[in-house]
């Protein structure tokens, strides 16, 4: 079924799919009887992304001007309306997609539930189109598409003021529509008979072979009769638009000896495209699949070209360099290279102008992964090879792909908890994919350092902090969590200039005020710098303050006295003998302190330059700064002291 007639021109980008376009146009127009929620699905490679792209062209005013609307079937053209929100899910977490939607509509909510409440309270409905759900997430093995459907798309679908369309993998399509009132949702499965369009495959193949659309001039592309016959044969045999694309790629990239009249080498599936291309080039299919295996197991945008031979050899168990050296004719039809400009401030130039390799489509990855004897074992070999590629085991010198994505490989190998013991990795890895990978591990399997990283990661991603600042966040967090050896490793081993040193942390709840001071020594002994923490009465080790203390009661505030520089409570310290800095001493100090709702700033009095700006994952409750630059801070978690380095504007936790 095609749904087309000879009276109308097909959509120039899609070449057909008229029945599906009619349904999408009716949804967009909110026509009587049209569903409020449309779930677009189909097998990987079925053309759902192409269909959605073509439809969105009709929803975007600038693209509409370039399309032959007057020649197209009016029932496939939606009315001209303001463009919908289109937050692509590719590479994003569920939370990131939700906040893209919130930002698009100017919502003021600060929490997830508030987003849905604000949307539900809108006077007019809003339209949201979410493509690429199958490509969601910074780490493949974390199964972000399922989380996106359950935590974001399902609540959106249940919100009556939201008209939602989502491009969803088939296993999740029914789940998204489940539970909605009858008539609310429609599933458009492009592989189902009522939506399939076999003719579109023929037209797609014939266009892809046409030199007018970029095909090279070859005997079977310049001769119209031969080209049309070959395109018809490819489209007739192919099961999906992806198979058409692969078939065309194979004959155009390696045309030598190809006979357009011989249909034996025209594939019917993704797997057949791999096998037939290898056979036509005189190579066994397993060699081709091993060449492509690292790309099928890759994270993010793909692997750097210089790592390809190393990782292919690791998966295959033998040297694949000779095959790769002459393998682009073999692998080329299935690979998409991408030149990436340098943009990583932490890479010291390692990320400048490199080439990444990725497979042409996720369905290729599925096919190759399905043929591996053991995916976890293959990922183990890749992870080990990536570890060996870290120069001197210094993560600061590692290739950006290695440091940022080794966690994704070890997650699928089942080895991630063993990796999460190196503070260098915590500091240098991109916190977005590392956080996603760590969050995918059951909490009980994580060691103490990984748990510290996990609770600190929201700050790392929120601030988009560079390596020095990530080190600073983590140095403080390790001290707070009683892991001083990890804090020391960050300070001593990584060679980074931290903006401060965390001297100590005291996990005590309810600190409402703090002050620095000195406790005079006795019998000529030196004075002791101290921190006074005002805490709730009854806090272990605390003593009543002021009148309550004089009367022996415990209804008023209490205080703890702690060493300002050296950790440890001073249980026998006399509160009455503690000397606070005078206003003159504070005014003469080289550093000053300012406080906002969720930040602290330390600035140089000489030039007013901010030398440290602190934020925290828990609210600040109090702060004070000693004349010699030791910052005393209290949050809901407790109190801590940091020696500020008066150089460079930084942010700390």
DSSP string, 166-218: EE--HHHHHHHHTTSPTTSEEEEETTSTTT--HHHHHHHHHHHT-GGGT----
For residue 547, the model assigns a pLDDT of 53
Crossing angle of the two packed helices 285-296 and 308-316, in degrees rounded to 10: 120
CB 449 within 8 A of CB 630: no
Q: Is 131 exposed, middle or buried (0-12, 13-18, 19+ CB in 10 A)?
A: buried
For residue 325, the model assigns a pLDDT of 85
Cα(208)–Cα(231) distance, rounded to whole angstroms? 8
pLDDT top residue among 618 and 311: 311
> Sorting pLDDT into bands at 50, 70 and 90, what band is 545?
confident
Least confident of 228-237, 267-276, 571-580: 571-580
For residue 598, the model assigns a pLDDT of 75
> Sorting pLDDT into bands at 50, 70 and 90, what band is 6?
low
- Residue-wise pLDDT tens digits, 225-250: 999 999 999 999 998 999 999 999 99
Residue 529: how many CA atoms within 13 Å on its side-chain side?
A: 17
Which segments within 331-455 are labelled E, that is strand?
A: 335-340, 354-359
Q: Please check the confidence at residue 111 and state whether its pLDDT lies above 70.
A: yes
Q: Please check the confidence at residue 551 and state whether its pLDDT lies above 80.
A: no
- Residue-wise pLDDT tens digits, 91-101: 999 999 999 99
Q: Please check the confidence at residue 550 and state whether its pLDDT lies above 60.
A: no
CB 431 within 8 A of CB 457: yes
What average pLDDT does range 280-300 have in this prediction?
Answer: 96
For residue 5, the model assigns a pLDDT of 53
- Residue-wise pLDDT tens digits, 460-512: 988 888 999 899 999 999 999 999 999 999 999 999 999 899 999 999 999 99
**pTM metric for this prediction:** 0.88
- Residue-wise pLDDT tens digits, 400-417: 999 999 999 999 999 999
CB 378 within 8 A of CB 361: no
Place of tokens 């748990």: 451
For residue 347, the model assigns a pLDDT of 45
Q: What is the 3-state secondary structure (H, E, C) of 373-407?
A: CCHHHHHHHHHHHHHHCCHHHCHHHCCHHHHHHHH
For residue 465, the model assigns a pLDDT of 84
Q: Please check the confidence at residue 549 and state whether its pLDDT lies above 80.
A: no
CB 562 within 8 A of CB 570: yes
Least confident of 81-95, 161-175, 538-552: 538-552
For residue 328, the model assigns a pLDDT of 84
Q: Please check the confidence at residue 1 and state whether its pLDDT lies above 50.
A: no
Nearest to 543 by CA among 518, 578, 567, 516: 578
Least confident of 367-371, 373-377, 494-498, 597-601: 597-601
Least confident of 34-48, 267-281, 599-613: 599-613
Average pLDDT of the chain, as a whole number: 91
For residue 557, the model assigns a pLDDT of 87
Helix (H) or strand (E) holding 241: helix 241-253
What average pLDDT does range 373-391 have in this prediction?
Answer: 97
Q: Please check the confidence at residue 272 and state whether its pLDDT lies above 80.
A: yes
Which segments within 433-537 are labelled E, that is strand?
A: 500-506, 513-519, 528-535
Share of the chain above pLDDT 90, in %: 81
């Amino acid at each position: 079924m095609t749904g087309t007639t000879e009276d109308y021109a097909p959509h120039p980008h899609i070449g057909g799919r008229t029945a599906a376009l009619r349904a999408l146009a009716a949804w967009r127009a909110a026509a009587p009887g049209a569903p409020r929620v449309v779930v677009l699905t189909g097998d990987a490679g079925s053309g759902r992304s192409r269909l959605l792209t073509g439809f969105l062209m009709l929803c975007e005013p600038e693209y509409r001007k370039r399309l032959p609307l007057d020649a197209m079937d009016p029932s496939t053209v939606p009315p001209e309306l303001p463009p919908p929100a289109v937050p692509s899910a590719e590479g994003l977490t569920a939370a990131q997609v939700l906040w893209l939607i919130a930002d698009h509509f100017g919502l003021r909510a600060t929490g997830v539930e508030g987003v849905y409440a604000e949307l539900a309270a809108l006077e007019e409905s809003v339209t949201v189109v979410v493509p690429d759900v199958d490509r969601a997430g910074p780490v493949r093995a974390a199964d972000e598409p399922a989380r996106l459907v359950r935590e974001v798309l399902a609540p959106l679908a249940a919100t009556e003021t939201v008209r939602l369309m989502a491009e969803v993998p088939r296993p999740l399509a029914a789940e998204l529509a489940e539970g909605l009132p009858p008539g609310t949702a429609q599933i458009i499965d492009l592989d189902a008979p009522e939506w399939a369009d076999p003719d579109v495959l023929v037209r797609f193949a014939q266009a892809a072979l046409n030199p007018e659309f970029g095909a090279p001039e070859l005997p079977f592309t310049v001769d119209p009769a031969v080209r049309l016959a070959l395109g018809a044969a490819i489209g007739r045999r192919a099961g999906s638009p992806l198979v058409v694309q692969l078939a065309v790629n194979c004959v155009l990239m390696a045309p030598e000896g190809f006979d357009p009249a011989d249909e034996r080498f025209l594939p019917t599936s993704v797997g057949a495209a791999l096998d037939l291309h290898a056979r036509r080039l005189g190579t066994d299919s397993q060699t081709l699949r091993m060449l492509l295996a690292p790309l099928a197991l890759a994270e993010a945008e793909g692997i750097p070209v210089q790592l390809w031979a190393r990782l292919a050899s690791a998966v295959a168990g033998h040297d694949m360099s000779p095959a790769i050296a002459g393998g682009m004719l073999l692998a080329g039809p299935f690979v998409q290279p991408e030149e990436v400009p340098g943009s990583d401030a932490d890479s010291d130039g390692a990320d400048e102008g490199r080439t990444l390799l990725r497979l042409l489509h996720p369905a290729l990855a599925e096919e190759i992964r399905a043929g591996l004897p053991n995916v976890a074992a293959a990922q183990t070999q890749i992870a080990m090879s990536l570890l060996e590629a870290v120069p001197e085991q210094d993560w600061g010198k590692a290739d950006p792909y290695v440091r940022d994505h080794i966690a994704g490989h070890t997650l699928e190998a089942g080895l991630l908890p063993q990796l999460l013991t190196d503070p260098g990795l915590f500091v240098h890895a991109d916190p977005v994919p590392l956080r996603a990978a760590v969050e995918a591990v059951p909490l009980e399997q994580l060691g103490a350092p990984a748990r510290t990283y996990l609770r600190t990661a929201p700050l790392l991603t929120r601030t988009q902090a560079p390596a020095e600042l990530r080190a600073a966040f983590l140095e403080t967090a390790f001290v707070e969590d009683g892991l001083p050896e990890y804090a020391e490793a960050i300070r001593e081993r990584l060679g980074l200039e931290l903006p401060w040193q965390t001297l100590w942390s005291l996990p005590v709840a309810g600190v409402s005020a703090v002050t620095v001071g000195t406790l005079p020594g006795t019998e000529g002994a030196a004075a002791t710098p101290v921190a006074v923490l005002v805490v709730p009465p009854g806090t272990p080790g605390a003593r009543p303050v002021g009148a309550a203390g004089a009367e022996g009661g415990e209804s008023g505030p209490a205080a703890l006295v702690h060493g300002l520089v050296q950790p440890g409570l001073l249980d026998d310290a006399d509160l009455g003998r503690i000397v606070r800095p005078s206003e003159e001493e504070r005014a003469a100090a080289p550093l000053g302190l300012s406080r906002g709702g969720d930040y602290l700033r330390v600035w140089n009095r000489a030039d007013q330059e901010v030398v440290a700006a602190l934020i925290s994952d828990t609210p600040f409750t109090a702060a004070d700064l000693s004349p010699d630059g030791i910052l005393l801070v209290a949050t809901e978690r407790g109190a801590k002291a940091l020696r500020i380095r008066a150089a460079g504007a930084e942010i700390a936790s």
